[in-house]
Amino acid sequence: RVNMSVHRNPATLKLWNKYRISNIPSLSLEFPWGPKPFREVIAGPLLRNNGQSLESSSLEGSHVGVYFSAHWCPPCRSLTRVLVESYRKIKEAGQSFEIIFVSADRSEESFKQYFSEMPWLAVPYTDEARRSRLNRLYGIQGIPTLIVLDPQGEVITRQGRVEVLNDEDCREFPWHPKPVLELSDSNATQLNEGPCLVLFVDSEDDGESEAAKQLIQPIAEKIIAKYKAKEEEAPLLFFVAGEDDMTDSLRDYTNLPEAAPLLTILDMSARAKYVMDVEEITPAIVEAFVNDFLAEKLKPEPI
């Protein structure tokens, strides 16, 4: 994934999450302008690769994938091949779904070549202002990015790329986020997107990963609901990590002890970690650890 990282500190976390600031300087204004809703930002003609044009109002009542991508980016081309199949499966299942390609190509010729492979819609390449507004609306920090919206234009998930790669049969479309994820090669990029609680477990013990997910889930759901009520993204992502090469590399990179279970919060962008190494992890321990982190009571160790 082509990415751009920016240093953050905990004091700016709430504003950062709310406005999805992607670079500095950046200015977010609420009143009297406020961020425009998707239907206003997307308003105007959209193209099909046969030259047909239709109005964005035709999207009403559909789930929409907003696909930020470019032909010069190898991970984008790989994702596009998978996404074409996913798009067809979702449409064949009778779901109301459309994708809009927002190009980051370097020329109109490159855009046309890339778009010729896509069975969905695109913002015209010549409409640079609308493409820029969509990038700003979602604080795009890297490509490929697939953002999935509900029929009202509200974000269901910013992790459409991960969902498409993990759910080839599209059984879980439209991919409402799970409160707790099992850390894998395909979703590990999310560790770079903000602070993440990661509970490392001994995956050789049957059922240990599932039990760990059940332990964390109520706490994750409570945090997510609390921030959703404030129309903010949760300030933590929640993971359970078993034992594999990727997890070993993560432990090595962050210099974590070999213990399992091991409760951590990793903030890769701030190069900070918070570690709780106790013999037994209980819901009360996890909740206290999370609350202390959110209240900035924990002292970070460097990564």
Q: Which of 239, 233, 218 is nearest to 156 (CA)?
A: 233
Residues 122 and 211 in one domain: no
d(CA 121, CA 67): 10
First to last CA, the chain: 22
Cα–Cα dist 80/66, whole Å = 13
262 and 202 housed in the same domain: yes
Of 53, 82, 107, nearest in space to 186 by CA: 82
* CA 54 – CA 14 distance, rounded (Å): 39
Give the residue from 166, 201, 221 where a domain finishes. Answer: 166
Q: What per-residue confidence (pLDDT) applies to 177?
A: 86
pLDDT of amino acid 232: 84
* CATH number of the domain where residue 265 is located: 3.40.30.10
Burial (0-12, 13-18, 19+ Cβ within 10 Å), 263: buried
CA distance 162 to 146: 9
Return the amino acid letter for 49.
N
| 196 and 157 fall within a common domain | no
**DSSP SS3 for 81:** helix
| Last residue within a domain, chosen from 166, 198, 223 | 166
> Which pLDDT score, from 0 to 100, does residue 206 have?
67
Give which of 116, 23, 18, 104 is closest to 69, Cα–Cα: 104
Domain encompassing residue 293: 181-302
Predicted model pTM: 0.71
**Structure-derived torsion over alpha carbons of residues 132, 99, 177, 271, reported in degrees to the nearest 10:** -40
Q: Going residue by residue through the chain, which has 303 residues, state the pLDDT in tens, using 9 for 90 and above.
A: 655 433 344 444 444 444 444 344 444 444 455 678 999 999 999 999 999 999 999 999 999 999 999 999 999 999 999 999 999 999 999 999 999 999 999 999 999 999 999 999 999 999 999 999 999 999 998 999 999 999 999 999 998 999 999 899 999 999 998 899 999 887 888 898 899 999 999 876 668 889 999 999 999 999 999 998 987 889 999 999 998 899 999 999 999 998 989 999 999 999 999 999 888 999 999 999 999 999 999 999 999
Q: Of 166, 198, 217, which residue constitutes the final position of a domain?
A: 166
Q: Distance between CA 163 and CA 127 in Å, rounded? A: 29
